[in-house]
A = this chain, B = another copy of it.
């Protein structure tokens, strides 16, 4: 099995950009993707489950069962906007092997829909909370890197774990361009400020007009999902270390 995909619709898109929004440090990508989906009224067209996700069910506040899952949404660009594929979910795969398989599956779908550009988001852990979190980036190639640096981001030095790193890397092997954009965050809770910085930059580069005033609602929803996964935020640093996943390091 490894990955099971349920396609609800095969949207017709014009060179869509894939935006990654899975849980990770500070839940920056997760908040950002959820906010984009809500504000753009993006439509879910695929669900992905993996044998490398957690083998448990979780329960929502209303008592219904929820499950570890990744979802793909699309947004047909209005006016100057680019078409988008937004990757959203409540988990990443638990193993290195599972992360590679999941990335491959997502890129297969994205490529079939004409995608050749990947943007991944995330948090860069820092000790102190900043009023205006700084942005950091890396990219698949010098041209894309220059474009990303022009958004006001600095070059990252270090490793980018999880799908934020893999999607750009495995995409490059397929001839796709892409960049990874991280915002500074202490990382122990869904970080609205960090998500705001990242979203501002993403909207700029994609000519998206998105109201960011309701960003805290997306963060609150993310907090609820975390709780149902048994990761009650705000997590204290010691607790995080005990049960941390690699993509939450």
Q: Interface residues, chain A, CB within 8 Å of chain B?
A: 1, 4, 6, 47, 49-59, 62-65, 67, 94-101, 104, 137-142, 145, 149, 155-162, 164-166, 168-170, 172-173, 180, 229-230, 246
Rounded to whole Å, the gap between the CB of A116 and the closest CB of chain B is: 16
Contact A51/B138 with A160-B57, A172-B67 known, Cβ cut-off 8 Å:
no
Q: Is the CB of B156 within 8 A of A101?
A: no
Q: Is the CB of A65 within 8 A of B168?
A: yes
Rounded to whole Å, the gap between the CB of A21 and the closest CB of chain B is: 17
Q: Is the CB of B165 within 8 A of A55?
A: yes
Q: List, in ascending order, chain B residues with CB within 8 A of A246's CB.
A: 55
In angstroms, Cα B166 to Cα A54, docked, is 9
In angstroms, Cα B172 to Cα A6, docked, is 11
A interface majority secondary structure: mixed
In angstroms, Cα B139 to Cα A161, docked, is 34
Q: List, in ascending order, chain B residues with CB within 8 A of A142's CB.
A: 62, 64
Q: Is the CB of B96 within 8 A of A138?
A: no
Q: Is the CB of A56 within 8 A of B97?
A: no
Q: List, in ascending order, chain B residues with CB within 8 A of A141's CB.
A: 64
Contact A65/B139 with A56-B166, A166-B55 known, Cβ cut-off 8 Å:
yes
B63, B157, B162, B168: which contacts A55 (Cβ < 8 A)? B162
Q: Is the CB of B65 within 8 A of A138?
A: yes
Q: List, in ascending order, chain B residues with CB within 8 A of A4's CB.
A: 104, 170, 173
Q: Is the CB of B168 within 8 A of A57?
A: yes
Q: Is the CB of A165 within 8 A of B63?
A: no
Closest residue of chain B to A93 (Cβ to Cβ) is B55
Q: List, in ascending order, chain B residues with CB within 8 A of A170's CB.
A: 4, 49, 67
Q: List, in ascending order, chain B residues with CB within 8 A of A164's CB.
A: 57
Rounded to whole Å, the gap between the CB of A169 and the closest CB of chain B is: 4
- In addition to A59-B158, A159-B229, 9 A-B residue pairs with Cβ atoms within 8 Å of each other are A50-B100, A55-B100, A57-B168, A58-B158, A62-B142, A63-B145, A64-B140, A64-B141, A67-B170
Rounded to whole Å, the gap between the CB of A197 and the closest CB of chain B is: 19
Contact A54/B96 with A155-B63, A173-B4, A230-B159 known, Cβ cut-off 8 Å:
yes
Q: List, in ascending order, chain B residues with CB within 8 A of A51's CB.
A: 96-97, 100-101
